[in-house]
Amino acid sequence: MLGAMDLMPAVEVIRAPLTETHLRLSAAFAEAIPHRVLAQLSANCPFAPFKTYGESPGAPGSSVTIADLAAIRPMVPARGTWQGRATMAGVEVPVLALASDATEQGALLVLVRTEDSPVAEEDLAPALGVWDLVTAHREGLRNEAAPEWLAVSRAAAAARAVAISDLGDAHGAALTALLGVLRDRSLRPCLRSAVSRGWRGR
C-alpha cells in the first residue's frame, strides 16, 4: 500500500532519468494498484505529451491511443481521481485516472488495471500525490531549461557571426590580392597576352 506519508515512491521517480519516469511510476504503483499499462497525457513533458508504458490490453499490435485518454479526461476533475471501465486499445477494461493541476495545462495519468475491484480510498490520495509531485517536478525542469536553450541559441548565433566574419575577411583579402595583380603595371603585358590568347581560342 502507498503510505500517506511515504514520499519514497515519488523520490525514486524524480531521481530517475526522464526516460525512466514511466518505468519507475509503474513500479511505485504496482503493489497498491496492479496494472498492465500506464499512459500519460501531459503537455509539460520534455519529450512528448503522450506516452505509454506496459503491455497493450487489446489485440496483438494494438496500443492505447491519445483518443482513449481524451475520452476519459472529461470524467476526471481538474485535480482528482476517477475509476471505472473505459475503452482502451479497442477493449473495455478497468482503469484508474489521476489528474494533476500542478501545471497550467493539466496532466493526466491513466492506469489500465488488472482487476475490477475498486482501488482502496487510502491508496488514491497517495497515488495522486505522487503524480502531483512528478508533474510539478517536470514543470520546474521545463521552466529552468528555457534559459539554457536561450544560451545555446545565443552561442550558435555567435558562432555563425564569427564564421560569417571570417568568410568576409577571406573574401576581402582575395579581392585585395586580385586588384593588386590587376593594378601591377609590370604584369599588364602578360595579362593582355593571356586575354588575347583566350579570345583566339574561342
Does residue 142 belong to any structural domain of this protein?
A: yes
Please spell the DSSP secondary structure of 25-67, one letter per residue: HHHHHTTTS-EEEEEEEETT-SS-SEEEEE--SSSTT----HH
Is the predicted pLDDT of residue 158 greater than 60, yes or no? no
- Assign residue 121 the CATH number of its domain: 3.30.450.40
Residue 64 maps to a domain? yes
For 32-53, write each residue's pLDDT tens digit: 999 999 999 987 665 678 899 9
Q: For residues 99 and 19, state if they share a domain.
A: yes
| Total domains, the chain | 2
Judge contact between 39 and 51, C-beta under 8 A.
yes
- Check residue 21 and give its pLDDT: 87
Please report, as a single letter, which amino acid is at residue 26.
S
In this structure, the answer to whether residues 83 and 105 fall within a common structural domain is yes
Q: Which residues contact 141 (CB under 8 A, 6 or more apart)?
A: 18, 46
* Domain enclosing residue 156, as ranges: 150-199
pLDDT above 90 coverage of the chain, percent? 43
pLDDT at 140: 77
